[in-house]
Structure 1
């Protein structure tokens, strides 16, 4: 692997080196002419790969100038892949599938808060965020990634891993339009259209609205993905910095899941591990049975008001709706069924049953409604900048695992899992494996003081109190009906920032975070009428304390940062997926205490105008502090590597833009990742390389902006496993500390996406 990484790294650096060399030769003086005086000047960052920062914490970002050179299909997780600590496991090159993952410093995406225009995007029940639902890349002004410390006013929980924040583009000051047409590998076809109103009369309002339509065949196996998306933003600015806006994002997608192999499956079939292309009677592996539809609608309304020279008020209200299905293939019999712990005396009607058995679509449907607001006052009082605010969030989550019949050709009667079309018992009740509704109410208050000790030295102290309450109803027959959970967490923090000179900074911080158990932990679960999972509200919160120390240098042509970090976790919760009676459901494992420490670094070098070379890297030491409790015994896990936590990873990116030609490279290497707590199974390190090249056509056709670019995604096409989809306690049978033989179970993995090429014609009007 080391040799291949070196080869790829050389290719990643070759393009900017050649382009820079051509510019240098063009600027060389004639041999027989007088040599002009040399003036040394700096070059501002042309691509926003390392924008200037002053926050007393680790923070990285990418801006629109970099985003517009990437493939327009990429989602937000894929776009931040180069940044320190970001480990992205992509299952498809275009970022359409939900089968993907992100970790930061070894912490999974259910530990990473996500905001868009200040509004939370994480699922309220399981804390996941789904990047394929976010705004189109053309409308994203900046993506900010805080690898560890989350802002005190951020309306998120379960964010020990950090915070990913998306800011939408501002509506243009003048009326205009943008059209992007893309075509590529696997019959990729995409249309994007955006309209800007410009200033609307004398109202002070301006707006944009965009629509995109994307379709691509699955790069491996049968199936295809479809996505329609609408973004809009209405903005008004007035007075001395006052502004109010409303952002809307609507997503309508139907995407195919990619099956995740075990290590044995991967060695036996490689990329051939797929769902079946054609349906045969009794087949539960047909690809149409794993095709999930989702619709989501997001509103965010941030407001910034300058009430006086010393007082500022900020508020963001939000409203969200979501409905989708994550289906799977399974079989039902007409007799011998249970509803909760109740045995059904009467047979159920199963269309297409043969000998009393039928293949059906197993539904995992979720309907969410969420509303909330976070508001704060900021008061400048001498050397003190005091922030005080509150956050309120109310959400309902309706989760049902039901069953829908399929036709003779394998097509589901209804892919959405609507109850009216689902299979019912003989007395008319919904036949369901899981049937529950949860209301989650989150209330928080925060108070912080930023003190300017001197012109160069600043200190911040703060406190945040968060209460999470869940009230639920289990609709399955059994002893459990109503459930309740209520937890409060006290989250103090402190930070210090010192400006050594106009270019150099040092900082340090201490931050606390917590994560409540997922909502499904509250509910009893049954299989064959037997209780297989005992719901409880006694599970402990995960609680973590993290520290960072960092140094930044911001120069005219060279900028870099280096951050040392340390975490300690109590009741570390690790997300996984379990097979529960034939249904794949989210679950968590309490891994006890964990200690992690390491280094993050990034460098941005700008040797000439329009040229940028970016390098990032991370060293991570993540170890379990406890043996893992399993079935009344303890697995020997103390001192083992934490799962999904590569010790080394690095990225190399470069961009070039001379006003006519432009291009970019993006190389990422991720080291070995363990998939079990006993470290008896892992996947090797791997590298990926993306390239782009394009030409600005403005001036050749007319004065309007017109760009043509070609993106090569994963150009070296390595056949690798890109990440751990479902961790395991132990892959091999292992004796516990007390002598019990604990059976092994195979983890599953993401298969790294294949190579793809996308050509895009972009035209402004």
Structure 2
């Protein structure tokens, strides 16, 4: 996505690092045996999930997951959003087949990705100011052990302030017990080339430590239009385990990417140009649509240190500390004049110096840069006291976000003087100040406590109750001249929840839950914006928080050859906040619309059949009914939206696929159908349903060679190559002109869409050492 940048993790606050250091220094520490006075629990009997499509679950809520046995058969470049596309409720719009572009979208049960919490090794990945998460920056798939998708709620102790849409959790593979190495080499369509190498240390002397580090380098041309993507990535994990389940780890993930954007057409542009709606391949003087002006460089570091320690036979401590850094630019092409400029509400009396100006006008690179730092820690104590399992915890998070929209000179060939948009290289006013359309710094402090009790009423029945209190403070500085200097927003919300789980027998489970969630408006809403020296949008701290109550009722069956679940869900929203993209001085900037109330209900289901060893057949589906409860205020009138379908909420989704692996040959197939999606609140514009299909075929060559892992596989992505719009990038209230409830003519504006990616083929050789 253009506009905001998602950032990093390294582990510094109370709890995690100190415990990790103690674990390394004290080999015999905290070896506690877990015992309880609870009656013997029902033993849920299932399968080891060797095919990786439906791991066993016992949570009192809907949870789906994929694991490494499935992931390893997919194309090696796919990001986490693309990998969960088969799971019920997951609606994924990808702009490129390889998952390298930041232009992608995930909705769950019709709720956007700014409503979905994302964790990597227990640390938050959502952007601190705009709540987006960017999957192209996540860990390499070859290092991911499992991706879990809780469609309806986040865990009580999850360090995230969004979650009405659910929780996406990535868990990295543990370092191997023995010293070994793996190298993957991939070649594919659109000049794709990729190398991935991983080294596992095995046990490091007598320290009890083991580690892995990996490096990948990927390059591919844009599948449509001019441009190319590059990505360098490093993952690493250091682990120590001791005693009965005690463990401490440090995980790092570094990403350095430069992505060429894909423009998002309106419906009229799509109908007129189709896949030819692209940035210009060649530069001509005055051209602001040249592809080099839309390359987005990002650098991000993520790190976290999860620790689990048994303090006694009844008390355990879990802590995850994290630190994140990131910087990137989402640029665009525009023009500036040497005179007639404003800085905030101040008209510049002196002309600015513009290299290459002709008749006082020059092409420039418009920068939209984000510079973030974030650190925090979440810790919880769990006490087993008879039939009660009591959990109490705290979460603290501190982050800074410096957002600048400045301008950089462009040479005669259309190449920016600095594609990163650094302020020290940007265009200045005659008196040396930074010429900027937007210039602000926001500090966000989140404090939360949570308390829960899980009561085992016999061997089959468990009742959970809990509450989370979340306080979020934003304070910021607007550096532009004008009436606004300091901003501040302060929120506190209590979020109660309850759940029940009943084991009918060793294989069957019933569950139900009720959950509350909230979301504050993003930081953009606090700040004034200017157009021609006049405040065009007034910043405010009085916007109401989104608040939702959701319920789930489900049945789950876990068998040796057949597993499945079905979940009914219901949501009720107040002040439903919808993410969209607006044009802010030429930049495509994430923003939020208040859509009033919304009611949603539906059914999710999935089933996995394993008729023989190495064979799995999987089917998932969702029915969703999402309706807007209120007429939408527009100016002094109301748009007649009551009873209309919610945007980006297809009524039907169906996924199907499977895997095969007989020890010599292996493969997978994955298909998905997504129904019609509306793009406006008034439902006067929509995109039709579409289907995608991915196929993989491979062979294990180890037995024919030296016994070491040697695999050859070919992945065909989106093999049917449908020419479709895959999702809504920016919603609008109404596409055409509409008469409001009070008789006012409300002018329409066109939504924009993601163009569904084309077909691609990738061949990969994997070799173990």
| Shared fold, TM over 0.5 | yes
Distance 1:454 1:720 in 2: 53
Map 1:342-357 to 2 at 5 A: 342-357=346-361
- Match for residue 131 of structure 1 among 128, 135, 156: 135
Contact 2:62 2:152 in 1 (8 A): yes
SS across alignment from 1:699: helix
Tell me which residue corresponds to 2:7.
none
| 1:548 is the counterpart of 2:529 | no
Note the C-alpha offset of 1:47: 1.3
- Match for residue 561 of structure 1 among 543, 546, 565: 565
Distance 1:647 1:584 in 2: 29
Tell me which residue corresponds to 1:182.
186
Tell me which residue corresponds to 2:35.
none
CA-atom RMSD in angstroms: 0.8
Rate the CA distance shift 1:44–1:473 in 2: closer, same or farther, 3 A: closer
Contact 1:709 1:760 in 2 (8 A): yes
Note the C-alpha offset of 1:43: 7.0
- Match for residue 508 of structure 1 among 492, 509, 512: 512
Distance 2:632 2:105 in 1: 24
Contact 2:49 2:56 in 1 (8 A): no
Distance 1:120 1:675 in 2: 29
Note the C-alpha offset of 1:579: 1.3
Note the C-alpha offset of 1:42: 9.1
| 1:411 is the counterpart of 2:412 | no
- Match for residue 254 of structure 2 among 229, 250, 263: 250
Tell me which residue corresponds to 1:433.
437
- Match for residue 227 of structure 1 among 218, 228, 231: 231
Distance 2:592 2:616 in 1: 42
Map 1:428-577 to 2 at 5 A: 428-577=432-581
SS across alignment from 2:704: coil
Superposed CA offset, 1:636-690 (max 9, x none): 0000000000000010011000000001000000000000000000000000000
Distance 2:139 2:421 in 1: 26
Superposed CA offset, 1:581-630 (max 9, x none): 32221111100000000000000000111100000000000000000111
Note the C-alpha offset of 1:359: 0.7
Aligned residues: 725
Tell me which residue corresponds to 1:668.
672
Contact 1:43 1:609 in 2 (8 A): no
Tell me which residue corresponds to 1:171.
175
Tell me which residue corresponds to 1:280.
284
Superposed CA offset, 1:139-179 (max 9, x none): 00000000012100000012100000000000000000000
Tell me which residue corresponds to 2:639.
635
Of 236-245 and 344-353, more deviation after overlay is shown by: 236-245
Tell me which residue corresponds to 2:304.
300
Return the TM-score normalized by structure 2: 0.94
Tell me which residue corresponds to 1:7.
none
Superposed CA offset, 1:249-272 (max 9, x none): 000000011000000000000000
Contact 2:46 2:56 in 1 (8 A): no
Distance 2:77 2:741 in 1: 49
Contact 1:734 1:741 in 2 (8 A): yes
| 1:645 is the counterpart of 2:649 | yes
Distance 2:162 2:739 in 1: 33
Contact 1:43 1:606 in 2 (8 A): no
Contact 1:191 1:213 in 2 (8 A): yes
Tell me which residue corresponds to 1:332.
336
Tell me which residue corresponds to 1:51.
55
Tell me which residue corresponds to 2:274.
270
Superposed CA offset, 1:222-246 (max 9, x none): 0000000000000011112111000
Tell me which residue corresponds to 2:87.
83
Contact 1:650 1:669 in 2 (8 A): yes
Contact 2:46 2:558 in 1 (8 A): no
Distance 2:308 2:560 in 1: 32
Distance 2:246 2:507 in 1: 31
Contact 2:546 2:575 in 1 (8 A): yes
Superposed CA offset, 1:261-317 (max 9, x none): 000000000000000000000000000000000000011000100011100000000
- Match for residue 683 of structure 2 among 676, 679, 685: 679
Tell me which residue corresponds to 1:241.
245
Distance 1:403 1:47 in 2: 51
Contact 2:387 2:457 in 1 (8 A): yes
Distance 2:513 2:49 in 1: 27
| 1:761 is the counterpart of 2:765 | yes
| 1:701 is the counterpart of 2:724 | no
Note the C-alpha offset of 1:458: 0.3
Contact 2:690 2:724 in 1 (8 A): yes
Tell me which residue corresponds to 2:17.
none
- Match for residue 111 of structure 1 among 111, 115, 132: 115
Tell me which residue corresponds to 1:733.
737
Superposed CA offset, 1:102-156 (max 9, x none): 0000000000000000000000000000000000000000000000121000000
| 1:716 is the counterpart of 2:720 | yes
Note the C-alpha offset of 1:580: 2.4
Map 1:2-81 to 2 at 5 A: 45-81=49-85
Tell me which residue corresponds to 1:395.
399
Question: Gapped runs of 5+ residues in structure 2?
Answer: 1-44
Note the C-alpha offset of 1:531: 0.8
Tell me which residue corresponds to 1:26.
none
| 1:375 is the counterpart of 2:379 | yes
Contact 1:46 1:611 in 2 (8 A): no
